[in-house]
Structure 1
Amino acid sequence: MEGSMRMGRLLAVWSEWEIRVLVLTSLALQVFLLFSAGIRKRNVSALLGLLLWLAYLLADSIAIYALGYLSQTRVPTGVNAQSHRIQAFWAPFLLLHLGGQDTITAFSIEDNELWKRHLLSLISQVVLATYVFAKSRPGADILAPAVFMFLSGIVKYGERTWALKCASMDNLRSGMVTTPDPGPNFAKFMEEFRFTSQAGLHAEIVIEPERRGGVTAAAIAEEDVDYDKVITDARRFFDTFKRLFVNLILSFQDRTRSQATFLRLKQDQAYKMIEIELSLMYDTLHSKAAVIHTWYGRMFRCVTLLSTSAACILFNVQAKGRYNESYNGIDICITNLLFGGALCLEVYAIGVMLISYWTYAALQGCNSPALSRLIFQSIEYFRPERRPKWSNLMAQHNLISYCLHDRATLLTNVLAMFGLKGHWDIWMYTQHIDVLPELKTMVFKELKDKAVSIVDNAESYRKFSNHRGQWALQCKGYYDEFGWSVEVEFDESILLWHIATDLCFHFDDGNDADAKAKAKQDVDISRAVSNYMLFLLVARPFMLTAGIGQIRFGDTCAEARIFFDREVARPNEHAAAKMVLDVNVEIAPRDVKGDRSKSVLFDACRLAKRLLVLPPGKRWRLIRVVWVEILCYAACKCQSNFHAKQLSNGGELLTVVWFLMAHLGMGEQYRIEAGHARAKLIVEKN
């Protein structure tokens, strides 16, 4: 009996506090989303991603549930009626929360495609909130503040829906399609040619191709560009190169303009410009940037700030003396907390909007140098040039290490039953390291040298993007010996070179440590790219060309485990590599085993043994250039929507390389290699 009474009291307390807890939780989630959402483009933390995902889903669910709760609450009479009226006044605040924050409208790019659902939700929730408020029969003291809050809530919710629509792939693509170009009037020209011929005159057509500007190697000289110029140029190029994300083509004019800038940039400035462009693309896809950085977006921001401020003032000034008598003090405190939260979030969002790259670039077209300078100084302070605009990390996954340390346990067996073992392995056996400055330097130098050497040959640009080690081997003179390893399927080539790189590394570690120390930079780059490409093969297979990489990886791991288990105790990585290298591979494994198993463990051993014949310096230079070429090939072959998808997960080195290649004129997106031909009709009398 006593337990039932205690439970009844708890239920009564919860019934009184339920709506209060809901609106305060909704506000807390909005605060978390505003301050944390923008971090994820520079952070690869799985915990942060999980928390943001939960907050993003719960924010809408709780606000909608709270509105539904208020709509189902019976309007009380007497003293309790006043308390219900002030709780009904929270309905427009819930609309404001449904409008979300400027820093996040979509958790993933797929959410943008649901903008029609959000439009329907906007209409239904506005109707529901209006019904909740009207049902409470509000007095004149609450009506005026409620009108202003409804205005703010509807505007914010409308902004979110419009931002989702603007970021949907169909809308992005249609907004970037160029004006239809029919070209020169062919029918009219040929009609003149026919009339001239019929008149007995000799006519000859002379074609003058459109003049193509270009950058010659002799004219290229590096220049030191200031940070403000980098921001302005990044914003200018973004309008052109964002077309890559929706699979639209570029022209030779776009290549020429980009090369004229990028071939003169220093390495750090080139990467910084690309980082800013990718940051702008993230803003376009996942925030309200496409809306708030327009004239009407700025106007709406002023409307919501002024409207919320007016509602707060009216609520606390109008009929002030009656509040303590008519309304519950706790509800008044919660209402003022909602006002304070709304105003603080609005002011913070406006501050973030003002010190953005969008705003600074827009001010360059206005005659306001003082304001422009102030904004730039704020950007330098809050977003300094030296701070990466993405995670600047590359994931590392190593096959031999994984095979040696992965053990069957009760937990892994249970995870395997539910198909989660792969996710567990990736989480357990993947590390992240900073992108090596030496790797950035080498990629930039290699791509820049190629761009200069083939600057006038459009077909060579396209051929270069199709090389995945062949060009490097040919230049070094080792194609006849190692060409087979890069002519197989791409995923097989990655596994072959990954295992071979590891075997060479551990062989040098025990036999020629001095030589390896001299080639330390080449070794570090090779190992970093090797482990990164294996991570992509295992964890991000959608970013590579279609193949059976995961099957091949699984078969190779299975064979490696059986091979290593021959020892009584599991060997360490150095001993495991020595065991593999000790195997006689004079006969190709496929000739002995057949091709049912897709394992490449001992094919990689054959490759490693041939590489070990070379002197350490030459060996590691060769491995390094092959891996860099494999990295560039993977970057330009990855589908654009998968590049876009990774922007919200801290970014990928692959995406940075892809964008750098595009700016230097390489890739398959350049499809217009000639402009309008200028045809002249030369008429000669017979």
Structure 2
Amino acid sequence: MPGWMVRTVFLLNSWVIRALVVFSFAAHVTIVFLAGVRRRTAIGLPITILWAANQLGRWAATYALSKLALGSTPQELQLVTLWGAFLLLHAAGLDNITAYSLEDNVLSTRQKVEMILQVSGAVFAMYKNIVIRSGSGTMVWVSSFMFIMGIFKYWERAKAMQLANLENLRSSIKKKKETRRRRSLRNVRRPSSSKHDNDEEALLVAHGLLDITKGAFVDSSVDEHQIPEYAARRREIFPKSGWGMMYKVVDMELSLMYDILYTKATMVHTWYGYAIRAASPFATSMAFMLFWFESKQGQRKTDVLITYVLLGGTVLLDIRWLLRAVASTWTYSFLNDRPHLWVYHAFLCSGKWRLLRRLIVSLDPSLILAKEPSSYRKWSGKIGQYNLLHECTGDKDERTRDYLSSVVEKVASEDTWMEYEYHNLRGIHISHDFKKKLLDCIWDYMYLAYPGEDVEEKKEEEKKKKEAEKKPEGPPPPMMPVEHHNVENIRKLEEALDFLPEFQESILIMHIATDVVFMYTEFEQNAASSKSKDNMEVIKALSDYMMFLVAVRPTMLPGLKLRSLYEATEDALAKIWSKKESSRCSSRTRQKCLSDILRCMENKRREKRPDKSDNWRLGYRTRNWQPDYTTDLYSVSIVLSDGIKLADHLLQWLHRDYWVKFPKSEYSYEAKFAQMFPKLRKILNRRPMYDHPDKWSQLLEHIFLEWVRLLINASVKCTRDSHAKQLSRGGELTTVVWILVEHAGVFRVDRQKR
């Protein structure tokens, strides 16, 4: 190879290394400030930038380390060796992000090989400088400091990812239960007695109760013998004895669970982690000072500038991580579990930790805009909205008027566009009134499954037994395995709320029926009170939200056939609309026109003919019975037929002049809907109150009860992995409801005080 070609290759190689080092540091800093946005959003420009920085930054570090190991010019070897230590630090990740997705916590063979190659590249660069070329002097010490810190932090990242794996987390919790090592409720901080409980108080309580949420995510419930202890302290931990404070605590617990799964929290807040964060600023500052006084003769100004940027930036970041670790409520929890330490009395008991936390938070630019230091942890409160009838009657080419959404639709997948369109753009933030009405209803349901009075009575009975019997006769009965307690609790909830396994069909039928009922009750809506109008808005939002989960986030719902059933229903609607669309329908009345078409098809009766097998077919909820007759709509879609039929049932109950003939048999539609929607059964089985002034509000109340029942069902039967994945994508209302149910099962519910 000619000499000029060799020089060109070396020149390109050296500049590629410089570019990769700068790019890796830029990606590192970008991730520092954007890692937290995943707590509150699933898609958008910040998420896209974060994903790109995470992926490209890891690639740059890996590729640059391989280049350092394979070759570099002798003149640049000292600085290149130091850069290799920085690249290893970048590859080790940050305190506020380890895994970008839940799957990253499962260290595959590819990831292990990648980690080995990254460390090997840095080790080989050090080896060439110190051993082969007999390197000495100040730069060797500087490189050594940074290299040692890189090794420690790289191991810390790997260990944090291993601990965050759900299977490993479950094993560790199981071991603690076997050895009876669990967090005592005596260390749970009581919230402030102030009327306005702030987020920080809720966060401190959440640390003490985190075992409940952690156990829920790994399907390991609280020990049965601990439940009386939890129930006894319910009014002490939650003074208002209802969902208000508990909702805040659950919100914070889910945020702490995000820390466990997607950050280094499990390693940072240990003796090892605190030691690393305390030593890092001193080590990097010393490296900076050594390089400052080192002779720069023979070095390029560009290389010296890059090195200063890397050293200075690393010093600032290490100081930041130290201050965040000290001010974190994880540190409070760490010390609170160790009351025998002098640090506990010096900082927690004296109140100095709270003052120090406030001071540090006020200096943190990422939190300074928040009114409460912990408010950034809260769920955004945004729920997606998707209406089936609206989507099927809208123009496919004009699904959105937002320019960015149209760009996303062209360049991204259909799922990504739907996530952006129906959550980011059309989604709504739930109001305080919405949340209050929803959670009040959930709390009433929880009382049916987990009444607090039963636990207290049981505790009194046990005390009386102990007083009556001095010594137990015979061996104690075998205890139920801890893993089975959660299954028993779920069964109690199912019995109390009449849950049924075929869940996906219920949402579709109820969504269609709700829309149709609202379209044919204009008179009632105009004459309704403001309270009824507010209830209609809540029902509509909840219906469209559940439909959003069906269409856009099917992994957040139980059932394997959910996606195919939804797609078949949507295709059937689209075909009906395209064939029978009326040219006189304006954009405002398209959904009403489609409803008219569907009801007309449902009223066209088809007699059952034994020689035709297509009049009736086996399907959801029809496997054990055969209707007396079928309709045109039934032959197209069972779900659409049942949705219209349910709407007709409700409208017939509401209107005097509304009459629909239903088949009367042992397996009638009344019996079918009563089984699927038990809360509506009270309306359907009740005598019509045509002249009753409160009939519309009563119907709304029962429709709302049914939607809340479906929401709870979806929440508790969604897979744990899906809940865990959604934590890194902005969170979900169903996850909050699920953890509330878990807490209700542990603390029990006092009906008198919400």
- The TM-score, its normalising length taken from structure 1, stands at 0.79
- Which residue identity does 2:644 align to in structure 1? C
Deviation of 1:153 after TM superposition, in Å, equals 0.9
Match of 1:543 in 2: 556
Distance 1:355 1:142 in 2: 34
Q: Is the 8 A contact 1:155 1:304 kept in 2?
A: no
Give deviations 1:154-190, integer Å, cap 9, x for gaps: 111111111111111222111101557699xxxxxxx
Contact 2:558 2:714 in 1 (8 A): yes
Q: What corresponds to 2:440 in structure 1? A: 445
Say if 2:567 is the partner of 1:567: no
Kindly report the root-mean-square deviation, in angstroms, between the aligned alpha carbons of the 2 structures. Answer: 3.8
Q: For 1:656, give the aligned amino acid.
A: V
Structure-2 separation of matches of 1:336 and 1:12: 24
Q: Equivalents in 1 of 2:111, 2:541: separation in Å?
A: 43
Could you say which residue in structure 1 is the equivalent of 2:731? Answer: 651
Name 1:361's counterpart in structure 2.
333
Is 1:37–1:103's contact at 8 Å kept on the other side of the alignment?
A: yes
Q: Deviations over 1:339-364 (max 9, x none)?
A: 01111221222232233221233344
Contact kept? 2:446, 2:741, Cα under 8 Å: no
- Give me the whole-angstrom Cα distance separating, in 2, the residues matched to 1:256 and 1:449: 21
* Matched residue, 1:466: 494
Corresponding residue of 1:523: 536
SS at match of 1:248: coil
The 5 A counterparts of 1:224-623 are 229-259=201-231, 260=234, 261-262=237-238, 264-265=240-241, 267-317=243-293, 319=294, 322-323=295-296, 325-364=297-336, 365=339, 366-367=344-345, 368=347, 369-378=350-359, 382=367, 384=372, 389-407=378-396, 420-430=413-423, 431-452=426-447, 454-455=451-452, 462=490, 465-466=493-494, 470=498, 489-509=502-522, 512-515=525-528, 517-565=530-578, 566-568=581-583, 571-572=586-587, 574-581=589-596, 583-584=599-600, 585-586=602-603, 591-593=630-632, 597-612=636-651, 613-614=653-654, 615-623=695-703
Secondary structure of the 1:327 match is coil
Shift of the 580–251 alpha-carbon distance from structure 1 to 2, 3 Å rule, reads: same
Change (3 A) 1:510 1:556: farther
CA gap 1:11/1:515 in 2 versus in 1, 3 angstroms: farther
Matched with 1:51 is 49
For structure 2, which runs of at least 5 residues remain unmatched after alignment?
186-192, 456-486, 607-615, 617-629, 655-694, 749-754
Report if the CA contact (8 A) 2:502-2:559 is conserved.
no
TM-aligned CA distance change 1:525 to 1:284, over 3 Å: same
Question: Deviation of residue 525 (structure 1)?
Answer: 1.5
**Structure 1 SS opposite 2:452:** coil
Identity %: 30
**1:593 Cα offset (Å):** 4.9
Residue 166 of structure 1 corresponds to: 163
Distance 2:332 2:747 in 1: 31
Change (3 A) 1:71 1:547: closer
| Conserved 8 A contact 2:166-2:218 | yes
What is the Cα deviation at residue 135 of structure 1?
Answer: 2.4
Relative distance call for 1:570 and 1:101 in structure 2 (3 A) is farther
Decide whether the 8 Å contact of 1:537 with 1:550 is kept in 2: yes
1:132 counterpart (125, 128, 144): 125
Structure 1: how far apart are the matches of 2:355 and 2:398? 59
Q: CA deviation at 1:516?
A: 6.8
SS at 1:18's partner residue? helix
Q: Secondary structure at the match of 1:577?
A: helix
Q: 1:660 maps to what in 2?
A: 740
Q: Partner amino acid for 2:103?
A: E
Q: Is the 8 A contact 1:163 1:291 kept in 2?
A: yes
- CA shift, 1:291, in A, is 0.2
Secondary structure of the equivalent of 2:287? helix
CA-to-partner distance for each residue in 1:488-544, whole Å, 9 max, x for gaps?
831111011111212223334576323275412211221111111111112222222
Q: Secondary structure at the match of 1:396?
A: coil
Alignment of 1:46-125 (within 5 A): 46-76=44-74, 81=75, 83-114=76-107, 118-125=111-118
Tell me which amino acid in the other structure corresponds to 1:567: S
Instruction: Summarize the Cα distance change of 1:67–1:570 in structure 2 as closer, same or farther, 3 Å threshold.
Output: farther
Question: SS at the partner of 1:177?
Answer: helix
CA contact (8 A) 1:118 1:161 kept: no
SS of residue matched to 1:466:
helix
Higher relative contact order (CA 8 A, sep 6+): 1
Q: Report the alpha carbon displacement of residue 244 of structure 1 after superposing the two structures with TM.
A: 1.0
Equivalent residue letter for 1:391: S
Letter in 1 for 2:645: R
1:651/1:425 CA distance change after superposition, 3 Å = closer
Mark the CA change 1:421 to 1:571 in structure 2 (over 3 Å): closer, same or farther: farther
The answer for the alignment partner of 1:22 in structure 2 is 20
Q: CA deviation at 1:601?
A: 2.4
CA contact 1:262–1:270 (8 Å) conserved in 2: yes
2:172 maps to amino acid: G
Q: Tell me the amino acid that sits aligned with residue 515 of structure 1.
A: A
Offset at residue 379 of structure 1 (A): 8.2
SS at match of 1:90: helix
Q: 1:538 to 1:516 in 2, by over 3 A?
A: farther
Task: Output the CA distance in 2 between the equivalents of 1:654 and 1:312.
Answer: 49
**Which whole-Å CA distance do the structure 2 matches of 1:72 and 1:460 have between them?**
60
TM-score (normalised: structure 2): 0.72
Aligned partners of 2:440, 2:114: CA distance in 1, in Å?
A: 51
Cα distance, 1:635–1:505 mapped onto 2, change above 3 Å: same
Q: Count residues with an aligned counterpart.
A: 601
Show the counterpart of 1:156.
153
Could you tell me which amino acid in structure 2 is paired with residue 520 of structure 1?
A: K
Unaligned runs of 5+ in 1: 1-6, 184-212, 214-220, 471-485, 669-686
Q: How far apart, in 2, do the equivalents of 1:601 and 1:263 lie?
A: 47
